[in-house]
Amino acid sequence: MQHVDNCIFCKIVQRQIPSQLVYEDEEMMAFHDIHPWAPVHFLIIPKAHIASMAQLSTEHTALVGRMMVKVDVLARQEGCRPYPEGGYRLMVNTGQHGGQEVHHLHLHVMGGPRPWSKG
Ligand code: AMP
Ligand code: ZN
């Protein structure tokens, strides 16, 4: 598994810093965002270091597909009400103009009753 030394999410994957785990398997991890915007706010990341959406290629198609398929399952597990009256927002900030701060690909899953602190 490829990890990058100064990457905070690689450190979470390697258990060098703690996280509030939501889900883990051999290729992905999900954990609570440390500064939640919404009553439910967690991140889904690949365990392998991929800097952003901009680094994705066809070799990642299956992995990203499996991450997407986990979104609804984990959102409901974490307390989001089901679609359509519940639901959640899925967000992937990419690059400086996208507001990306951590350069290890992550899906934000945000849900729960509004109002939220942002958005
Ligand atoms: P982004 O702007 O999409 O790169 O968002 C990075 C997200 O990672 C922010 O919402 C942060 O609150 C979150 N974050 C940063 N460090 C940690 C951490 N150690 N554990 C959990 N979430 C974190
Ligand atoms: Zn990383």
**Tell me: the pLDDT tens digits for 63-105?**
999 999 999 999 999 999 999 999 999 999 999 999 999 999 9
- Domains in the chain: ranges and CATH: 8-111 (3.30.428.10)
Portion of the chain with pLDDT greater than 90, in percent: 97
Exposure letters 61-71 (e unless 16+ CB within 10 A, then b)? eebbeebeebb
pLDDT on residue 118: 86
| Span from the CA of 62 to the centroid of ligand 1 (angstroms) | 24
Give the residue, out of 9, 90, 102, 108, with the most ligand 1 atoms within 8 A of its beta carbon, to mutate for a pocket test.
102
How confident is the model over 22-28, as a mean pLDDT? 98
pLDDT on residue 2: 87
Residue whose CA is at the smallest distance from ligand 1 atom 13 = 33
Whole-model pTM over 0.75: yes
